[in-house]
Amino acid sequence: MTTQRKTDNAISFYNNERVYEGDAVSKRTKNARNSFVFLNKFLGALENDSDVISISKKNYEDYLI
């Protein structure tokens, strides 16, 4: 039996459902536009934080965050 010490941090919106963690990561290949990862980096961050800006430009270039 293998264990996962870390859970995947992802959310995906697929067929009017919200899918989390590992399931969301697997949906990302089919539905990349509605799948989001690295969202924990945004929690508590200021809007002018350079790390947040670089992550949003790299991963979410189609969205205004």
Enclosing domain of residue 15: 10-59
Task: Decide if 24 is inside a domain.
Answer: yes
Task: Decide if 64 is inside a domain.
Answer: no
| pLDDT value at 6 more than 80 | no
CB distance 33 to 63 below 8 Å: no
CA separation, residue 57 to residues 5, 23, 35, 36, 41 (Å): 29, 24, 15, 13, 13
Task: Decide if 25 is inside a domain.
Answer: yes
pTM: 0.55
Q: How many domains does the chain have?
A: 1
Confidence of residue 16 (pLDDT cuts 50, 70, 90): confident
